[in-house]
Structure 1
Amino acid sequence: MYSFLALFTLAVIPSMCKGLHENKCKVVSQDQYIEVGSDTKIVCQTSCVHGKVFWTLDNGYIKESTSNSSHSALSLRNFTKRSATLQCHSADTQEVLGGAIIRTYTKPSKISCLLHYDDQATQGLPDLFTCSWEHQTDASLEVNYTVLCDSCARQSEICNSQKTTCTHNYHDISDKIPLVQSSRVTVRAKSAAWEASSDPYEFSPFSILKITRPHISVLAASDHLLVEWSLPPFFQRKQRCQVKYSKAVDEGGPEWVLNKTLETNVGKGEMVIEKVESCHNYTFAVRCALGEAPWSDWSHERTVLTKLNKRDVELRLWRKVAEADKNGVRKVHAMWTGIPSTCQDTFTYMIEQTPYKEDMTGVNHTDTSCANSVCDVKVNQGARRINLKIFHDDWMMEDSVYVPAVGESLPQVTNIQTSTLEGVILVSWSAPAQPVSGYMVDYTHNGNEYFWKQTKYTNATLFDLLDKKPYNITVTPLFDDKTGHGAQTLHICSGVGDPGNVSITEIKTTDKSVLVKWDVESQEACSGDVVNYTIFYGTQKGPQLNVTVDSTARDILLKDLNPDTQYRVVVEATALTGTTKSTEEFFHTKRFDPRLSAALGVSGGILIVLVLSLGLCCAVQWRKFKEKPVPDPGHSSVALWSPMSHEKGICPFPPFHNPAESFCDSIYTEAPRTSTSPPAAGSHDNPASDQNMTGEYADPATVPAPHIQSEEPAEPVDKQHASFPAETTELLSSEDSPSSPYRSQSPEETPALRTSKQCARAPVKQQEKTPPLTVYVTLDMFEQGQGR
């Protein structure tokens, strides 16, 4: 320290003298490194300013300083900061005259050394010597470390490192660090700016010797495990050892259990572990140490399967009795808490049936060999006792259960109630009137795998159930040597899940509305009941709308939609336990109202039918008009008149439509009648008839010829026509038939068929002038008449 101050003084005084001549200000010893907790002094030359100066440490004012006209000195005592900035200021101008950065360094500390083995199978001297320490340094500095032997006659290096640990081969330095005596080492740290050494570390070689890991073995007995270990002969000194073990589990990592520490002097040890479960895998490990030396590494792990401990076996025999078949045989499903399948020993299971009454004779016992934990046997209608026996090596276990007779009167519990809470089922019931010794509660979710538990109370809690499964639960009262009848409750869910799957089944759109239908299918028996449905819908870019309906709805009509627009829709079912959603469906509203299109279609159809009907009617009328026959005068009565009429003065061919001529001279067409009276029988019988026919048309067939009038009255028409009953001579223009210009007649008509009373040629009154009528004749009409 004094040498440092002397050098500092020699460096500062010339600088001060030089500063007087140069009239400069500066701080001497910038970027100085000091050891943590030491003192230092900083000088500020003040020849460049007049007046006082002051110091700041990290911008904080410092009072402790000494000053004169040429310099100011600042003393720092017990300085512990990692780094600090010192500045000298002019009191008048506040100007910074100079500054320095002070950094600190520490010496290595907390040294520990270890003798250990690189190869855990090595015996004898250890392989390696390792020392480690702590040191806080500036990361930007490169520091070299050296481990020095302080106990040696002359301090010598053991190993070098740039880290805070250093390892060297022990065989090379065994003469410096012998096992038979204590040793002392020092760690030196050196950088470009400073150098520091640790305090000496003294140790005994055996106190730092980390021995090799022990060898371990585990033996399994029926009621305990024996753990044994051993160490190499070189370490037969006082030792302390620890044993840890864990039980294998299905999920997650095993939890290690650390047993107590044992001490031994013989290089080996053993420990008995009693509290272990039967037929389970256990893993063990052991570590040891010499005295207070560090622990060795843990031994290799050893896993062993424990044997069956008879004290852990509780059979808990129970049965389920089926209904008797037509032969009176009942199937009994016997079940018990069997031996774990992981047990590798050999076990024999036997079911024995015996009558309930021991004094019954003539009934043989029936034995059945069974597998582990379940067995089906058949019994008759009588009361039986089922006995289970398990054999293993030199011991045997047994249990029995009662099977009631068919129709046997036995007590039964009543008023079974169940409830579900957070995955467990709570069961309660009312006890029968008879005193009971307990109750057996059995339950199953599939009818094949049963679980059961016994209780003395009128309630039970069922744990470890499958999630969201329906269970059938049966409660049976137990007596001293019998069992009562079981009371069953069906389909109690261990938990209620989400509602069933929702699916949209139909979408019907119009221009401004849509009908959405959906359905719900429950995939699980314990699905939650739907409370309500929420229908979410909207356009791709528009807001999402929703409508909520109750649980009974299966369709909804969404209104006030935009025409010709695409929408999306989702139906969400909500239960007390959760929600489920349908897949998103898209639909497109129509551009126009379908009802308008339907109305237009119906109207158009009706119009088309009307047009077609009108056209059909017109066509029919036109066809009738076109197909109406042209009147043929050849079929008229005129063509049938006999040529002999010329000789008798009959007028066969009178002028057409001459009113001055007689009625026999005209060819008449249909015209309006002025009288509806029938024609007279003959002109000679009623002379006035000719007068009455003035202004009328008479049928020539009914008017007699002039030359006939003088003759005798003809015979009645009936007599003249007696030989021609099929012929007629009635007028076509009568009131009962359509008008026609011709007389109806047969083609075979002859003049003899005409009426016997013919009209004479007589003048008639001049008729009033009437419009001309169109008459049709054919050229062959007279030829037809002549040829007849």
Structure 2
Amino acid sequence: MKEMSLFLTLFILAATPSICKGQPKKTCKVVPKNEYIEVGSDTEIVCQTSCIPGKIYWTLNKRRIDESQSSNSSHAVLSLRNFTLQNATLQCLNADTLQALGGTIIRTYSKPSNISCILHHKNQFKDSSPDLFTCNWEHRIKPSPDINYTVFASLSHESQQEICESHVTNCTTTSERISLFDNITITVRAKAAAWEAESDPREFCPDHILKIIRPKLTVKTLSDHVLVSVSARSRAAFLTQCHCEVKYSKVVDEGPVSEWVHNNTLKKGHVNETIEEFDSCSNYTFSVRCALVEAPWSDWSEKETVLTKLNKRDFKLRLWRKVAEPEENRARKVHAMWTEIPSTCRGTFTYTVKQTPYKEHVMGVNDTDTLCGSSTCAVYVNQDAHRIQLTVLHNGALLVVDSVYVPAVGESLPQVTDIQTSTLEGDILVSWKASIEPVTGYMIHWTHGGNLYHWKESNYTHTTLSGLLDKQPYNITVTPLFDDKTGQSTEALQICSRVGDPGNVMIHVQSKDKSALVSWNVTSQGACSGAVVAYTVFYRIQKGPQLNVTVNGTEQFISLKDLIPDTQYSVHVNATALTGTTQSRETLFKTKRFDPELITVVSVCGSIVILLVLSLGLCCAVQWKKFKEKPVPNPGLSSLALWPASSHQEGTCPFQPFSNPSESLCDRVYTGETQQAPTSPLAPGCDGNSASVQTEEYIDPATFSVPEDSVEPAETWHPSSPDDSTALLPSENSPYRSQTSAESSASRSSKQCKRVPVKQTEKITPVIVYVTLDMLEQHQGRGGK
């Protein structure tokens, strides 16, 4: 911005002659140019306005200011009072045309201030006269190599003399020119290329600026306190009054470090400080610093770390117990617990617990002692009331004794009610209603998993449990306390120290062409995972906008609609609980090109049609093959009839070649083979001609005999029309296909035949005739002719 303002000013100044062109004697400009003034001082800026008529106005950093002058005279003056800006751009403008007539930049500088000086020692272990002199000051302008600082010193009734130079706001030199007995006056001068400023002089007393060397520290630990000894190394501390600060802090692995400071006054260069506020068997660091009155503090001494001893006076066991439910033998397990003595405490510690029935304890009867560990112990008692007593020995000497009451089973004792629990930033807040009887306090104990117990005492009906494991369930019990007894315990509902995020989300996608079924399940991360209140499904195509749909926490699937076929999508699911959100891994899936259900339906229908066509073709092929390859009938299975004797009634055919007497000879089937290959004459036909059929001769003397002299007149068959021959072909009229009634055969024979007398001169040989299936085809072909 500074460069821009300067460029704008130069541009305006360069353009000013063009405004006044043709009037060389009437110019417009602003003076002085690029002025440096001290912060808080006054200055005046002049704008020559002889080149224009009318009024002008001023701007400061492009903001119009109220002060303006008329152009009645040849110039306008702007007065700046108590100017404090670091830099400013001023412009003079025509009020009518708003044209800039000229401008300038004003920069401010300040003089050094707040000077402080000290006399100090280079060697912090050896006492001697101070050999270094250092001064510091402040300057509102940012120090740079362009500014040179010079420090001047003058003693009483002496002129100033230069003692050091610097380009920063401090300067150190030897103290050869400094007297330890006279006051000294210091002045700092700051000089740049365009300006120079000198600070106000400041006078110092040597005793007020003398920084003594750091003292020596000795720390000794005792059983009930820590003794800190401070010794001064500077002779000045022995000559004048001196005060010291002792700082100590406990060494901890994690968390903030608490520091304590004790003040004391050195007497004859020595002082002892007693510290009683400390934790037993803990590491503490100590350091000390001292100073003359009104003089600056010395450097801190080297830190010394010590291990404190066990403080018998302040050590408390805080003995407590957890009573389990009675077992089958009615014995109760009592889990005794107390404050563990730090392992850093040196020496040998012995812990013994004895359980005494309460009545015998009152009477002074002791029970057997049980040797226990360092912080817990388990003993068994019956259903009666008992008192558990813990004794701790340190190096064989009694350190502390404490006891706690165990009520009897079913003993009527007060107890708290309506325990309420809640969580806040990892802590558990517990509150309850007080018991009816007055109490001395309440004992609260809590556990995670039942292995490690924590407990604390409170005088109020509420407390805060801190230092808990994160996202873990806790069981909390509250017990009222009395003077020498304890009431009945009341357990609260299990509560988590903090409810975490929902469990891990695993998703599965089944895609179609325009939709996809997204399902998921949540695997809990622990007992304190947050309950899901909503699921949000996010999906998108590559380089496309992200879409989402939300369902409630009871749903675990959703169908995404209106998707683009044959397109790759990415999807993930967010499970949201009141305590946070868990996101599944991103899954890629691709929609189908066609609807899988349509393809399935078409495939099934096509398969059925193909099967039907194949089945029909196969059936036709089988039937055709059977038709083409039909075997010759077995004559033994045919129904045959004897030919009638000569005494047969008139009106029937002269012979019956089949076993059924009702069948007529006229019912025989004629084929083409019978005409082409005639055999021996069998009998004259109905028309007087011999009928030729393809036959095989077979004689059965047991079933057939004819008298030698019998003569039977033959009957001749006359078809009434060409259609009559084909009418005889149906299977129901063929003796080889089925047998018909005698009446129908006789009536047909009487209508189609007439008797023709035939002369029989020789024996009639019985003939057995059968027909093949080919005869039907040939006869049908003949009938067609």
For the aligned pair, the TM-score class normalised by the smaller chain equals 0.5 to 0.7
Amino acid at match of 1:210: K
Please tell me whether the aligned partners of residues 151 and 186 of structure 2 are also in contact (alpha carbons under 8 angstroms).
no
Please tell me whether the aligned partners of residues 420 and 495 of structure 1 are also in contact (alpha carbons under 8 angstroms).
no
Amino acid at match of 2:133: F
In structure 2, what is the Cα distance between the partners aligned to 1:362 and 1:36? 90
Q: CA RMSD in A?
A: 5.6
Q: Which residue of 2 aligns with 1:123?
A: 127
Corresponding position: 1:169 with 2:177: no
Describe the SS at the equivalent of 1:683: coil
Please tell me whether the aligned partners of residues 144 and 168 of structure 2 are also in contact (alpha carbons under 8 angstroms).
no
Please tell me whether the aligned partners of residues 151 and 185 of structure 1 are also in contact (alpha carbons under 8 angstroms).
no
How many pairs align?
655
* CA offset digits 1:558-589 (Å, max 9, x no partner): 33333323333333333333332322223222
Describe the SS at the equivalent of 2:400: strand
Q: 1:444 aligns with which of 443, 447, 451?
A: 447
The alpha-carbon deviation at position 605 of structure 1 amounts to: 2.0
In structure 2, what is the Cα distance between the partners aligned to 1:200 and 1:636? 158
Q: 1:465 aligns with which of 463, 468, 477?
A: 468
Describe the SS at the equivalent of 1:765: strand
Corresponding position: 1:583 with 2:588: no
In structure 1, what is the Cα distance between the partners aligned to 2:105 and 2:565? 81
In structure 2, what is the Cα distance between the partners aligned to 1:351 and 1:248? 33
Query: Is the alpha carbon distance of 1:742 and 1:417 closer, same or farther for their aligned partners in structure 2, counting shifts above 3 Å?
Result: farther
Describe the SS at the equivalent of 2:403: strand
Q: Which residue of 1 aligns with 2:308?
A: 306
The alpha-carbon deviation at position 124 of structure 1 amounts to: 1.6
Query: Is the alpha carbon distance of 1:415 and 1:742 closer, same or farther for their aligned partners in structure 2, counting shifts above 3 Å?
Result: farther
Amino acid at match of 1:211: I
* CA offset digits 1:522-579 (Å, max 9, x no partner): 1111222223333333433444444333333232333333332333333333333333
Query: Is the alpha carbon distance of 1:541 and 1:267 closer, same or farther for their aligned partners in structure 2, counting shifts above 3 Å?
Result: same
Describe the SS at the equivalent of 1:766: strand
Which deviates more, 78-87 or 356-365?
Answer: 78-87
Structure 1 gap ranges (5+): 1-22, 90-95, 638-668, 672-677, 704-739, 775-781
Q: Which residue of 1 aligns with 2:391?
A: 389
* CA offset digits 1:613-648 (Å, max 9, x no partner): 22332333244335433469xx799xxxxxxxxxxx
Q: Which residue of 2 aligns with 1:752?
A: 701
Please tell me whether the aligned partners of residues 566 and 586 of structure 1 are also in contact (alpha carbons under 8 angstroms).
yes
In structure 2, what is the Cα distance between the partners aligned to 1:566 and 1:131? 74
Q: Which residue of 2 aligns with 1:502?
A: 505
Mapping 1:79-118, distance limit 5 Å: 111-118=115-122
Amino acid at match of 2:214: R
Describe the SS at the equivalent of 2:359: coil
Larger Rg: 1
Structure 2 gap ranges (5+): 1-24, 94-99, 663-692, 730-764, 769-785
The alpha-carbon deviation at position 212 of structure 1 amounts to: 0.5
The alpha-carbon deviation at position 395 of structure 1 amounts to: 4.7
Please tell me whether the aligned partners of residues 113 and 208 of structure 1 are also in contact (alpha carbons under 8 angstroms).
yes
Amino acid at match of 2:596: P
Please tell me whether the aligned partners of residues 34 and 104 of structure 1 are also in contact (alpha carbons under 8 angstroms).
yes
Amino acid at match of 1:567: Y
Please tell me whether the aligned partners of residues 417 and 490 of structure 2 are also in contact (alpha carbons under 8 angstroms).
no
The sequence identity of aligned pairs, in percent, is: 51
Describe the SS at the equivalent of 1:619: helix
In structure 2, what is the Cα distance between the partners aligned to 1:37 and 1:434? 76
Please tell me whether the aligned partners of residues 155 and 183 of structure 2 are also in contact (alpha carbons under 8 angstroms).
no
Q: 1:683 aligns with which of 645, 648, 659?
A: 645
Describe the SS at the equivalent of 1:618: helix
Please tell me whether the aligned partners of residues 148 and 166 of structure 2 are also in contact (alpha carbons under 8 angstroms).
no
The alpha-carbon deviation at position 768 of structure 1 amounts to: 1.7
Q: 1:558 aligns with which of 551, 557, 560?
A: 560
Mapping 1:260-659, distance limit 5 Å: 260=263, 262-323=264-325, 330-344=332-346, 346-358=348-360, 365-379=367-381, 383-392=385-394, 395-404=398-407, 408-411=410-413, 413=415, 416-422=418-424, 423-427=426-430, 439-455=442-458, 461-476=464-479, 478=481, 481-483=484-486, 486-505=489-508, 507-630=509-632
In structure 2, what is the Cα distance between the partners aligned to 1:100 and 1:558? 70
The alpha-carbon deviation at position 434 of structure 1 amounts to: 7.8
In structure 2, what is the Cα distance between the partners aligned to 1:304 and 1:157? 49
Please tell me whether the aligned partners of residues 144 and 191 of structure 1 are also in contact (alpha carbons under 8 angstroms).
no
Amino acid at match of 1:119: N
Please tell me whether the aligned partners of residues 145 and 163 of structure 1 are also in contact (alpha carbons under 8 angstroms).
no
Q: Which residue of 2 aligns with 1:214?
A: 215
Describe the SS at the equivalent of 2:716: coil
Describe the SS at the equivalent of 1:246: strand
Query: Is the alpha carbon distance of 1:324 and 1:297 closer, same or farther for their aligned partners in structure 2, counting shifts above 3 Å?
Result: same
The alpha-carbon deviation at position 449 of structure 1 amounts to: 0.9
Describe the SS at the equivalent of 1:534: strand
Query: Is the alpha carbon distance of 1:60 and 1:469 closer, same or farther for their aligned partners in structure 2, counting shifts above 3 Å?
Result: closer
* CA offset digits 1:392-423 (Å, max 9, x no partner): 36553222223456x55554748654332424
Describe the SS at the equivalent of 2:717: coil
Please tell me whether the aligned partners of residues 639 and 660 of structure 2 are also in contact (alpha carbons under 8 angstroms).
no
Amino acid at match of 1:768: H
Please tell me whether the aligned partners of residues 670 and 741 of structure 1 are also in contact (alpha carbons under 8 angstroms).
no
In structure 2, what is the Cα distance between the partners aligned to 1:379 and 1:331? 7
In structure 1, what is the Cα distance between the partners aligned to 2:203 and 2:316? 62
In structure 2, what is the Cα distance between the partners aligned to 1:477 and 1:86? 81
When the two structures are superposed, what TM-score results if normalisation uses the length of structure 2?
0.67
When the two structures are superposed, what TM-score results if normalisation uses the length of structure 1?
0.67
In structure 2, what is the Cα distance between the partners aligned to 1:475 and 1:194? 78
Amino acid at match of 2:602: L
Please tell me whether the aligned partners of residues 148 and 188 of structure 1 are also in contact (alpha carbons under 8 angstroms).
no
Please tell me whether the aligned partners of residues 639 and 658 of structure 2 are also in contact (alpha carbons under 8 angstroms).
no
Please tell me whether the aligned partners of residues 568 and 591 of structure 2 are also in contact (alpha carbons under 8 angstroms).
yes
Query: Is the alpha carbon distance of 1:480 and 1:228 closer, same or farther for their aligned partners in structure 2, counting shifts above 3 Å?
Result: closer
Please tell me whether the aligned partners of residues 702 and 757 of structure 1 are also in contact (alpha carbons under 8 angstroms).
no
Q: Which residue of 2 aligns with 1:17?
A: none
Query: Is the alpha carbon distance of 1:331 and 1:743 closer, same or farther for their aligned partners in structure 2, counting shifts above 3 Å?
Result: farther
Which deviates more, 550-559 or 450-459?
Answer: 450-459
* CA offset digits 1:12-59 (Å, max 9, x no partner): xxxxxxxxxxx99999999999999999999999xx99xxxx9x9999
Please tell me whether the aligned partners of residues 150 and 156 of structure 1 are also in contact (alpha carbons under 8 angstroms).
no
Q: Which residue of 2 aligns with 1:730?
A: none
* CA offset digits 1:203-254 (Å, max 9, x no partner): 4433332110111122333333322211125221221222333344554442
In structure 2, what is the Cα distance between the partners aligned to 1:561 and 1:79? 73
Q: Which residue of 2 aligns with 1:228?
A: 229
Describe the SS at the equivalent of 2:284: strand
Please tell me whether the aligned partners of residues 225 and 274 of structure 1 are also in contact (alpha carbons under 8 angstroms).
yes
Q: Which residue of 2 aligns with 1:693?
A: 652
Describe the SS at the equivalent of 1:357: helix
The alpha-carbon deviation at position 503 of structure 1 amounts to: 1.5
In structure 2, what is the Cα distance between the partners aligned to 1:571 and 1:426? 34
In structure 1, what is the Cα distance between the partners aligned to 2:184 and 2:282? 50
Describe the SS at the equivalent of 1:615: helix
Amino acid at match of 1:698: P
Query: Is the alpha carbon distance of 1:181 and 1:574 closer, same or farther for their aligned partners in structure 2, counting shifts above 3 Å?
Result: closer
